[in-house]
């Protein structure tokens, strides 16, 4: 089945940033009282240096990204988040302080996302229309909350390799294989070292080539505190320069791809209001 990609392209590559900085650590450690700063400082590399390095790389390529930002990050680093928007990239929701939806009630999720929407709007002057759940942790109850808040798309699930619809919300799917965290995330005591840049670049190049061959979406997800390091930025530039130059590939923001999908009415609608489980004797 051929998907009608924007501009008649054979396939799509979306480049996205999860600009979460230290917010996941703050959420996980919210009930602890200690003075540990190692992982906090490691993660603060993202807003201090990493996001600027990635923005410069994208400027050089003429590539626009979607940047998913927790509201707490926008409130804590408003200049960096405003600069992302000023350079032409889309800002989208990523919770308030990286709270996974499975840890929240529906009312709590609504309150945290509403707060994040207002904060991003204050920083950028533009209301976000997309959402990505922290750690891609999702429940079926998220979608009614998104609809109530006027959020038109989600980018957290892996049920297809083309956009589709879930409970009236456009789903622009993701993939762990093209997320940098499984390769680069390393904090003290982890059992394996970070993957070198070469194997990651080559693996992602293979994913992009396969997407082009099969007419699918390759969703690349990076974190400024991980992929914002200079050698990793250089590897991303080597990976993405041929993509931007390839007339058979489109590189839309997630917002633009979701709007294109909705205009085409080309997706299958999936309902997540119940789980079908096999019966047991």
- Is residue 215 within 8 A of residue 3, CB to CB? The reply is yes
Q: What is the pTM of this model?
A: 0.94
What CA–CA distance (Å, rounded) separates 35 from 14?
Answer: 39
CA dihedral 7, 8, 11, 15 (to 10 degrees): 0
Q: What is the pLDDT of residue 275?
A: 44
Q: Say whether pLDDT at 270 is over 70.
A: no
Report how far apart, in Å, the C-alpha atoms of 18 and of each of 46, 105, 159, 213 are: 10, 23, 20, 27
Q: What is the pLDDT of residue 246?
A: 98
Give the orientation angle of helix 230-245 with respect to helix 197-214, to 10 degrees: 20
Encode pLDDT of 112-167 as tens digits: 999 999 999 999 999 999 999 999 999 999 999 999 999 999 999 999 999 999 99
Q: What is the pLDDT of residue 191?
A: 87
What CA–CA distance (Å, rounded) separates 195 from 182?
Answer: 9
Greater model confidence, 273 or 79: 79
Q: Which two tokens stand for residue 169?
A: 């919300």
Q: Which residues contact 111 (CB under 8 A, 6 or more apart)?
A: none
Q: What is the pLDDT of residue 14?
A: 98
Q: What is the pLDDT of residue 281?
A: 44
Q: Which residues contact 6 (CB under 8 A, 6 or more apart)?
A: 12, 250, 252, 256, 257, 260
DSSP labels for 206-243?
HHHHHHHHHT-EEEEEE-HHHHTSHHHHHHHHHHHHHH
Greater model confidence, 181 or 35: 181
What's the pLDDT band for 32 if we cut at 50, 70, 90?
confident
What's the pLDDT band for 189 if we cut at 50, 70, 90?
confident
Report how far apart, in Å, the C-alpha atoms of 66 and of each of 5, 37, 187, 196, 234 are: 18, 29, 26, 25, 20
DSSP labels for 252-276?
--HHHHHHHHHHHT-PPEE--S---
Give the orientation angle of helix 78-86 with respect to helix 51-61, to 10 degrees: 10
Spell out a b/e string for 16-34, using b for 16 or more CB atoms within 10 Å of the CB, else e: bbbbbbbbbbbbeeeeeee
Encode pLDDT of 81-122 as tens digits: 999 999 999 999 999 999 999 999 999 999 999 999 999 999
Encode pLDDT of 212-233 as tens digits: 999 999 999 999 999 999 999 9
What CA–CA distance (Å, rounded) separates 168 from 76?
Answer: 33
């Amino acid at each position: 089945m051929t998907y009608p990609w924007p501009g008649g392209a054979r396939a799509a590559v979306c480049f996205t940033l999860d600009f979460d900085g230290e917010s996941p650590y703050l959420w996980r450690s919210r009930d602890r009282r200690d003075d540990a700063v190692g992982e906090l400082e490691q993660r603060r590399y993202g807003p201090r240096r990493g996001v600027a390095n990635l923005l410069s790389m994208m400027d050089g390529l003429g590539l626009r990204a979607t940047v998913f930002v927790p509201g707490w990050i926008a409130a804590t680093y408003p200049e960096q988040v405003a600069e992302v928007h000023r350079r032409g990239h889309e800002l989208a929701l990523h919770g308030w302080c990286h709270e996974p939806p499975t840890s929240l009630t529906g009312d709590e999720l609504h309150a945290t996302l509403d707060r994040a929407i207002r904060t991003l709007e204050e920083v950028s002057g533009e209301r976000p229309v997309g959402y990505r759940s922290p750690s891609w942790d999702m429940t079926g109850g998220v979608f009614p909350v998104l609809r109530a808040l006027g959020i038109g798309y989600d980018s957290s699930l892996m049920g297809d390799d083309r956009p589709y619809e879930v409970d009236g919300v456009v789903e622009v799917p993701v993939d762990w294989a093209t997320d940098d965290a499984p390769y680069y995330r390393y904090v003290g005591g982890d059992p394996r070292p970070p993957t070198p840049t070469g194997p990651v670049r080559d693996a992602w190049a293979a994913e992009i080539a396969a997407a082009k061959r099969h007419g699918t979406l390759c969703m690349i997800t990076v974190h400024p505190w991980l992929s914002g390091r200079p050698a990793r930025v250089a590897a991303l530039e080597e990976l993405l320069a041929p993509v931007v130059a390839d007339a058979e590939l489109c590189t839309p923001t997630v917002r633009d791809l979701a709007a294109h999908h909705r205009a085409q009415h080309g997706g299958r609608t999936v309902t997540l209001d119940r789980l079908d489980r096999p019966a047991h004797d």
